[in-house]
Structure 1
Amino acid sequence: MNLSYWERKSWISNTDFTIVGSGIVGLNCALELRARYPKAKILVLEKGILPQGASTKNAGFACFGSISEILADLRTHSEEELAALVLDRWNGIQSLRKLLGDKAIGYEQNGGHELFLKQDAKSYQHCMENIGKANELLAPIFKETVFKVSENSFGFNGIQRQYISHTLEGQIDTGKMMLSLVGLAQKSNIQVLNSITVEDFVENGQGVSVKTNLFEFNTKKLLIATNGFANSLLEENVLPARAQIIITAPIKNLSIEGTFHLQEGYYYFRNIDNRILLGGGRNLDFKAEETTQFGNTPLVLNKLEELLRTVILPYTPFEIAQQWSGIMGVGSQKKPIVRQIGANTACGIRLGGMGIAIGTTTGRQLAHIFQEV
């Protein structure tokens, strides 16, 4: 790209901070940097026309972990580690709400419910027997008993008679949230350039030399917030994980309200604008979904439609209006990676499918990696 003198001078010269990725983490990092350094030149580079990974493509769950997820995580995390993860999610949601306001993000606290299919009787029994243990572990965080047994009030089919509900879970409008974040960044004099792919970077002693698909430039500090796409630039313990989603056309008199989880969170659905949004199915073929390629597969789409037809809307005609996918970042641990990786380079990645819950605080932590500029 043949940049003019004016373009180079105004947009990419004398840059103090460059952030790669304009999702939840990247924009929150930029906003926190602006609060710390009111006069700094802050640039955000985004490879997509819109945030490319999961920030504008997620299901909009303000969740902290269903009971089966909590109990499953105890197999790979200590109680202290798990409690710290849930506390981060809780604090992250509160930080997001405080930053943008509930109206701006369409926040509703309708509760979250875990459903158990008839064939999942063993998991259902295990979770029922451990409600007390989960509540005791999380009581210092939520200050109340959050996991409760509730009846199948929405008439789902083919499931165990009762749900295990999390009373404090909520839902947001993902589009409204990201529009609000972008708007706040613009008001804060943060430059966001879209359709720019960072291909490589080299520390040069004075800062970082950054090569993109269109131009090269220097920045004092480089902060990478590309989550599932991180391994194109870094060697970290993070893998891409594609999430496929479908949404119905509006359904008249839809009474379903709240967020819902199935099979340790591998399936999830909610109401939005008189529609049902349903996603998941990565567990059907983990290797195939370990990709940075967007798209939908017959294997997953057929399973999602089957769940709609047989479990969620068994007596209600529906049409699939749209389908899409997003790319998450996952790893062997669910704790995000926020660390300095060079003298002038740092990363905030591996959100583990909890970007809405921890994206705000992860971005802020990333902004505090460097104590001085």
Structure 2
Amino acid sequence: MYDFAIVGGGIVGLSTGVALSQRYPDAKILVLEKESRWAFHQTGNNSGVIHSGLYYKPGSFKATFCRAGAQSMVAFCQEHDIPYEVCGKVIVATEEKELPLLENLYQRGLQNDIKVARLTAEAVREIEPHVNCIAGVQVFSTGIADYKKVCQKYAELIQLSGGDLRLNTKVLKIVETATGQVLETNQGTFETQFVINCAGLHSDRIAKLGNVDPKAKIVPFRGEYYELTPEKRYLVKGLIYPVPNPDFPFLGVHFTRMIDGSVHAGPNAVLSLKREGYKKTDFDLGDFAEVMTYPAFWKLAAKHADEGIKEIIRSFSKAAFVHSLQRLIPEVQAADVVPTHAGVRAQALMNDGKLVDDFLIIKGQQSVHVCNAPSPAATSSIEIGKAIVAQIPAPQHLRTTVNV
């Protein structure tokens, strides 16, 4: 019998395992991941950015966890010799109508206690010489990291504390018993007293297996990227973002220098026709039908029809994608970018058609379900793990470490 079983071996599941092992040193901890390696899906395909917390509503989980998480992630990378860089970023306005929105971002940064600075166009070009803009905001605490290596270290720490890590193990059924819960998997059954669901793209389904209704459904959005050819990487020194549309739930196409020195451009955001659909041709009839028959999706689609059409055009037209990049860096030409990997974002959509704008953590009888953990989940992972553990009733038979 395990004390805790975590479903999902992405960055949130693994960070929760670390937090549990620190809080309860004698606990029997199990982590189940259906893929052959850790951080296979969202974590392994994200932008690698250590976010500052600038964009998020003051007082929200995102703002609180991200601001603290950026500091704890940098400290973790330093402690464990994981590649990272606090390079900062610039957010730039390219049109007059964006200036009030840029100022709003600056003020939100101040409200969230983040170091920010207003920049003239000339000051922006001192940081990013090839950018076209009329004004900007500099965010000093933004960085980049290797989140795959962060996850590998999380897994190593759980194992060193005596945790049981199981790859290639898919949860098929959850059965409540008098003493806890039984997880039936393709690799046998596991009995546990408490379940923590960190299954990302399948978190809503795991919640329902555990008789918990998240009152939301995961809708997968694929983010497609290009990257600059090596000889054109000089065009981008760090991170360059546009002023986002405040009514659209994505940040817009931007440039990100990765920790390996490559420069990614994107993403656009289109509905994926499969929960794990990283290619345009990926299709799963069950996943597709689930979205198409969900009334809330059509409410969302109607609300964002104009932006959605633009995203679809960018998905199928390299010229359109490059045009959006040229708003930030006019020198970029079609020959300067090549396609690179895509990611799929697990976005929770409420039954009333509203996107869940914050982390969504739901408590069951003997379970906790993380049913929405989009960006900045990687940045915030250490803090999210601690917050999840704080919601779990302390088992009486386990020794507790205080002030962790």
TM-score (norm 2): 0.73
Establish whether residue 166 from structure 1 lines up as the match of residue 139 from structure 2. yes
Query: Structure 1 residues 200-209 or 248-257, which shifts more?
Result: 248-257
- Counterpart for residue 314 of structure 1: 331
- Counterpart for residue 292 of structure 1: 275
Give, in whole Å, the separation in 1 of the partners of 2:328 and 2:181.
Answer: 53
Establish whether residue 49 from structure 1 lines up as the match of residue 36 from structure 2. yes
1:30·1:367 contact (CA, 8 Å) conserved in 2? no
Establish whether residue 104 from structure 1 lines up as the match of residue 43 from structure 2. no
- Counterpart for residue 338 of structure 1: 361
What one-letter code is carried by the residue in structure 2 that aligns with 1:191? D
Of residues 150, 154, 167 in structure 2, which corresponds to 1:177? 150
Give, in whole Å, the separation in 2 of the partners of 1:290 and 1:165.
Answer: 37
Of residues 8, 11, 16 in structure 2, which corresponds to 1:29? 16
Identity over aligned pairs, percent = 18
SS at match of 2:108: helix
- Counterpart for residue 261 of structure 1: 241
- What's the CA shift for 1:308? 4.7
What one-letter code is carried by the residue in structure 2 that aligns with 1:328? A
- Counterpart for residue 9 of structure 1: none
Establish whether residue 239 from structure 1 lines up as the match of residue 230 from structure 2. no
Change in Cα spacing, 1:131 to 1:20, as seen in structure 2 (3 Å) is: closer
- Counterpart for residue 115 of structure 1: 92
Change in Cα spacing, 1:108 to 1:47, as seen in structure 2 (3 Å) is: same
Give, in whole Å, the separation in 1 of the partners of 2:86 and 2:236.
Answer: 14
SS at match of 2:75: helix
Establish whether residue 94 from structure 1 lines up as the match of residue 71 from structure 2. yes
Give, in whole Å, the separation in 2 of the partners of 1:132 and 1:315.
Answer: 28
1:334·1:351 contact (CA, 8 Å) conserved in 2? no
Query: Structure 1 residues 48-57 or 313-322, which shifts more?
Result: 313-322
SS at match of 2:227: strand
Note the 1:1-373 alignment, pairs <5 A.
14-50=1-37, 51-66=39-54, 69-70=55-56, 80-82=58-60, 85-101=62-78, 104-118=81-95, 121-122=96-97, 124-130=98-104, 133-138=107-112, 141-142=113-114, 145-149=115-119, 150-153=123-126, 154-156=128-130, 159-234=132-207, 235-236=213-214, 237=216, 239-240=218-219, 241-251=221-231, 254=234, 256-264=236-244, 265-272=251-258, 273-282=260-269, 285=270, 288-289=271-272, 291-297=274-280, 299-300=314-315, 302=318, 303-308=320-325, 311-312=328-329, 314=331, 318-320=336-338, 322-331=340-349, 332-342=355-365, 344-373=366-395
Give, in whole Å, the separation in 2 of the partners of 1:369 and 1:166.
Answer: 32
Query: Structure 1 residues 87-96 or 18-27, which shifts more?
Result: 87-96
Give, in whole Å, the separation in 2 of the partners of 1:205 and 1:229.
Answer: 27
Give, in whole Å, the separation in 2 of the partners of 1:313 and 1:44.
Answer: 47
- What's the CA shift for 1:54? 1.0
1:19·1:30 contact (CA, 8 Å) conserved in 2? yes
Give, in whole Å, the separation in 2 of the partners of 1:338 and 1:253.
Answer: 40
Give, in whole Å, the separation in 2 of the partners of 1:182 and 1:160.
Answer: 43
Give, in whole Å, the separation in 2 of the partners of 1:323 and 1:369.
Answer: 36
1:259·1:270 contact (CA, 8 Å) conserved in 2? yes
1:93·1:356 contact (CA, 8 Å) conserved in 2? no
SS at match of 1:171: strand
What one-letter code is carried by the residue in structure 2 that aligns with 1:314? E
- What's the CA shift for 1:27? 0.9
TM-score (norm 1): 0.79
2:82·2:146 contact (CA, 8 Å) conserved in 1? yes
Matched residue pairs, number?
336
- What's the CA shift for 1:321? 6.2
Q: In angstroms, what is the RMSD of aligned CA positions?
A: 2.9
- What's the CA shift for 1:58? 0.6
1:339·1:366 contact (CA, 8 Å) conserved in 2? no
SS at match of 1:35: helix
- Counterpart for residue 7 of structure 1: none
2:89·2:142 contact (CA, 8 Å) conserved in 1? yes
2:203·2:370 contact (CA, 8 Å) conserved in 1? no
- What's the CA shift for 1:131? 5.7
Give, in whole Å, the separation in 2 of the partners of 1:115 and 1:109.
Answer: 19
Stretches of structure 2 that go unaligned for 5 or more consecutive residues are 208-212, 245-250, 281-311, 350-354, 396-404
